[in-house]
Amino acid sequence: MNIQPKWEALGNSVRGVSHIASNKPNQDAIQIDATSSIALVAVSDGHGSQKYFRSERGSAIAVKVAQSFLQQCVSSLEKATVKDMSFMTTVLGKKLCQRWVDEVNTDIEQHPFSDLEKETLEYYGIALEEGFVVYGATLLAALVTNEYALFFQLGDGDIVFVSETGVVDRVFSAEDSLITNETHSLSEPEAWRYGRVSLRLWESEVPSLIMLSTDGYSNSFSSDEGFEQVGSDMISLIKDKGVAYVKENLKGWLKEASKIGSGDDVTVGILSRTK
C-alpha cells in the first residue's frame, strides 16, 4: 500500500504552576520537525528533584539527540532492519541512550560543575565521572516516514495515536511499577533496558493524529478516559477549525491543565496528518 502521508507538527511546553510558585524552571523540553520526509516529535521531562539539579538541560539534550540521532539512523536503515524489533530495541535503544550520555558529558565539559554542585554530587554519592546522572530525564519520540511510524519511550509520559474517526489507541501501556512520581530515566544504569520501541507500518489505516505528552498532562485529568478524550477532541477541532486554531490555543490549554490539574510542567507534541 502506498499511502505516503504528509504531516504537520505542532507542540508547546508550559512551566508548571508549582514550579512557578517555587521559582523553578520548566524542566520539560520538546522538539518538533515535519519539514523533511521524516517527521519527528520528541518530548522529555527532567526529573527536577534536588539530586537531578541539571535535569532541564538533560531534557533539552534528550529531544535534540532524539531528532538528530533517530532521523540520521533510521534514514540509513533498511526497512527489514527497522522491522526487526529485537534489533531496534537493543541496538537503536542502546545507541540512543549512549548518545545522550555522550552529549551530556560534552555539556559538562563546556559547563563544569561548580563547587556547590560538586558538594551535591558528593552528598548523593555520585562520582564526578558519572555526573551525567544529575541530568536525568525521560524521552518519548515518534518518528514518521512514508512507510511507518517508529516510537521510542523511556520513562513516564504518554504516546497515543488517533484514527480519523477519533478512536484513540495507546502505543505503550502504562508501566504498573511506576507510581508515585517514579520513572525510568536516561541516566540510570543500562537505561536502554527500560526503553520501549514500537513500529507501526502504514499497511492499512494511517492515524490522523499522533500525540506525545509528558506525565504532567495526563496527570491533570481525573481519569484515563478524560485524558484519552483529548485525542478525539483534537481530531474534531482540527476538522472543524483547522490546525492553526489548535496551534494558537494549545499553550493556553496546557497552562489550564497545570493550573487545574497536576501543577507540573506540561508538554504536548502533535503530528497531524494533512494527507
Partner 1 sequence: MEKNNSFRPGGDMASRPLHFIYIADCSGSMGMDGKIQAVNEAIRESIPHIKEAANDNPQAEVLIRAITFSSEARWHIGEPTPVEDFTWKDISADGWTSMGAALSLVAQQLKMPPMSNRALPPVLVLISDGQPTDDFEQGLQELFAQPWGVKAVRLAIPIGEDHNMEVLRRFINNPEIQPIFAKNAEQLKAQIKFFSTSVLKSVASSPSMQQGDKGSNVIMPDNALILSQQNTTSVGDVW
CB of 210 to partner 1, least distance (A): 15
Q: Which three cell numbers stand for residue 35?
A: 519539514
Cβ neighbours of 68 (radius 10 Å):
14
Check: CB of residue 59 under 8 Å from CB of residue 45: yes
Query: Among 264, 267, 271, 272, which residue sits at the site for partner 1 (rule: CB under 8 A)?
Result: 264
What distance lies between CA 221 and its chain's CA centroid?
A: 19
Q: What letter does residue 58 receive in the DSSP assignment?
A: H
Binding mask 68-87 for partner 1 (x = CB under 8 A): --------------------
190 is an interface residue for partner 1 by CB under 8 A: no
In the complex with partner 1, the residue whose CB is nearer, 39 or 254, is: 254
Binding mask 198-237 for partner 1 (x = CB under 8 A): -----------------x--xxxxxx-xxx-xx--xx--x
Q: What letter does residue 46 receive in the DSSP assignment?
A: B
180 is an interface residue for partner 1 by CB under 8 A: yes
Position 187: which residue type? S
Q: Which residues contact 144 (CB under 8 A, 6 or more apart)?
A: 5, 7, 38, 39, 40, 150, 210, 271
Q: Which of 171, 268, 252, 154 is CA-nearest to residue 219?
A: 268
167 is an interface residue for partner 1 by CB under 8 A: no
249 is an interface residue for partner 1 by CB under 8 A: yes
Q: Which three cell numbers stand for residue 74?
A: 533510521
In the complex with partner 1, the residue whose CB is nearer, 103 or 228, is: 228
Which residues contribute to the site for partner 1 (CB under 8 A)?
A: 16-18, 22, 45, 47-52, 136, 156, 174, 176-185, 187-188, 215, 218-223, 225-227, 229-230, 233-234, 237, 248-249, 251-253, 255-257, 259-264
